[in-house]
């Protein structure tokens, strides 16, 4: 009799786990259960609809640094299914990929549907059964089998193994069914969110981007560098999202009320910056400071910062003076803002928290509490910064869980 394997969750990790089971155990039956009427929803909307499949980072030590939680412990998992393995897996199945300048990897089509079609096609080819609108209500162990009880049905279905890839949840209640089986649950809190600045006039500059800003969360020892986007509600962009990821738990404890410091120039040597201003003064003494920018910043931001420094935009460079020059440089490198709240995009919600890695065998991703129960993806207490890392965690953990080690 063929062994029957259940996969709970129709996201990236669930699909890859199901495909991995068929690769390593082609004789097994595999059924994938999705509680909604569509699968791969996050894949569909990720990367603005382009799907940031993975990151081009090949160095393992650099890769695990992109995971504020879980990266070090899952180092062996990432070694066994790498970013290069992901790249080759999709390309070998007809999905051409490209690497952008910042290391993010996308399908050449710039359409997430290319990834979805590939996964669905592979599942169909391998005979994986996909069940939509089939929510698991309860599961329990009965000797050598797992019994899955579904909402709106009375009789359970028996399986020899279950892979849980049900994703993250914004509330701990969403993990109760796994806690009831003896697993430690790390309290979920939001990760990858933007900073709300309701009382800061800089939001009037909505749409502006500074490519190499440094964002520092004061009092938390958290700092990140990258593009910073000014929005109508506050700050967004990779620099902010990375900082929010690293500070997910600390910032939750502040109820999202904290101060940040922005270095708009990504330069710490203020003496070098002062000397640059002196050159501007010598080269353009009669030009106004607003029209002859001292540094390569967007014009509207440059004017905003001049006004924030209490400098008249009609002032000429030869009228600036030593104290004003020093005050301007101080603002450009240590500009502070008060954050009051966050904004999270529901469809791309990423949580910090979930099933503790202490509750699973790291080599196989099998539960320490219940033999034959495996985990993959965001249901685990592992999350990465923006840039394709969360999908890579889904592919890697799904692949290893699907090997069904020890079964």
Pairwise CA distance, residues 7 & 32, whole Å: 5
pTM of the model: 0.90
Strand order across the beta sheet in which 257-263 lies: 335-340, 257-263, 209-217, 222-230, 234-236, 194-196, 342-343
Domains and CATH numbers, the chain: 4-189+351-401 (3.50.50.60), 193-343 (no CATH)
Check residue 17 and give its pLDDT: 98
Least-confidence region, from 216-225, 322-331, 337-346: 337-346
Pairwise CA distance, residues 348 & 23, whole Å: 29
Q: Where are the alpha helices (DSSP H) in 284-321?
A: 299-308
Summarised one tens digit per residue, pLDDT across range 364-391 is 999 999 999 999 999 999 999 999 999 9
Rounded to the nearest 5°, which phi and psi values hold at 246?
-65, -30
As a whole number, the mean pLDDT across the chain is 95
Instruction: Give the residue-averaged pLDDT of 269-296.
Output: 95
Check residue 172 and give its pLDDT: 85
Q: Over 70: is that where the pLDDT of 348 sits?
A: no
DSSP secondary structure string for all residues of 108-150: TT--THHHHHHHHHHHHHTT-EEESS--EEEEEEETTEEEEEE
DSSP secondary structure string for all residues of 15-70: HHHHHHHHHH-TTSEEEEE-SSS-S-HHHHHHHHHT---EE----HHHHHTT-TBT
Judge residue 68's burial from the number of C-beta atoms within 10 Å of its C-beta, 0-12 exposed, 13-18 middle, 19 or more buried. Answer: buried
Backbone φ/ψ region at 406: left (φ over 0), alpha (ψ -120 to 50), beta: left
Q: Over 70: is that where the pLDDT of 331 sits?
A: yes
How many C-beta neighbours within 10 Å does residue 154 have? 6
Spatial CA neighbour of 386 closest among 104, 113, 77: 104
Check residue 346 and give its pLDDT: 53
382 within 8 A of 355, measured Cβ to Cβ = no
Check residue 233 and give its pLDDT: 95
186 within 8 A of 70, measured Cβ to Cβ = no
Instruction: Give the residue-averaged pLDDT of 120-147.
Output: 95
Backbone φ/ψ region at 44: left (φ over 0), alpha (ψ -120 to 50), beta: alpha
Cα R_g (the chain), whole angstroms: 25
């Amino acid at each position: 009799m063929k062994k029957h394997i259940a996969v709970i969750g129709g996201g990236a990790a669930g699909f890859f786990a199901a495909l991995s089971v068929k690769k390593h155990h082609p004789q097994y039956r595999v059924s994938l259960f999705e509680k909604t009427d569509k699968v791969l929803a996050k894949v569909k909307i990720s990367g603005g609809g382009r799907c940031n499949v993975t990151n081009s980072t090949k160095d393992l030590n650099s890769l695990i640094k992109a995971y504020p939680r879980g990266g070090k412990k899952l180092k062996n998992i990432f070694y066994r299914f790498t970013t290069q393995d992901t790249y080759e897996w999709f390309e070998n199945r007809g999905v051409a990929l490209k690497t952008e300048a910042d290391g993010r990897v996308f399908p050449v089509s710039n359409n997430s549907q290319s990834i979805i079609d590939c996964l669905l096609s592979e599942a169909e080819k391998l005979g994986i059964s996909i069940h939509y609108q089939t929510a698991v209500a309860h599961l329990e162990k009965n000797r050598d089998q797992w019994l899955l009880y579904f909402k709106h049905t009375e009789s359970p279905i028996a399986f020899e193994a279950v892979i849980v890839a049900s994703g993250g949840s914004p509330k701990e209640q969403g993990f109760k069914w796994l806690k009831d089986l003896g697993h430690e649950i790390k309290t979920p809190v939001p990760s990858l969110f933007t900073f709300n600045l309701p009382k800061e006039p800089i939001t009037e500059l909505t749409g502006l981007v500074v490519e190499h800003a440094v964002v520092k969360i004061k009092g938390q020892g958290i700092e990140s560098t990258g593009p910073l986007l000014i929005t109508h509600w506050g700050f967004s962009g990779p620099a902010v999202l990375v900082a929010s990821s690293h500070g997910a738990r600390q910032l939750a404890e502040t109820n999202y009320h904290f101060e940040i410091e922005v270095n708009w120039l990504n330069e710490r040597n203020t003496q070098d910056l002062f000397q640059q201003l002196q050159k501007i003064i010598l080269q353009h003494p009669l030009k106004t400071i607003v029209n002859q920018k001292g540094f390569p910043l967007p014009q509207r931001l440059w004017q905003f910062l001049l006004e924030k420094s209490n400098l008249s935009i009609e002032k000429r460079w030869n009228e600036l003076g030593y104290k004003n020059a020093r005050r301007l440089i101080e603002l450009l490198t240590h500009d502070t803002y008060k954050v009051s709240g966050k904004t999270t995009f529901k469809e791309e919600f990423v949580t910090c928290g979930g099933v503790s890695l202490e509750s699973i065998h790291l080599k196989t991703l099998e539960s320490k509490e219940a033999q034959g129960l495996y985990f993959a993806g965001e249901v685990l207490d592992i999350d990465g910064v923006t840039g394709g890392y969360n999908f890579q965690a889904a592919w890697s953990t799904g692949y290893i869980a699907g090997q069904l080690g020890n079964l």
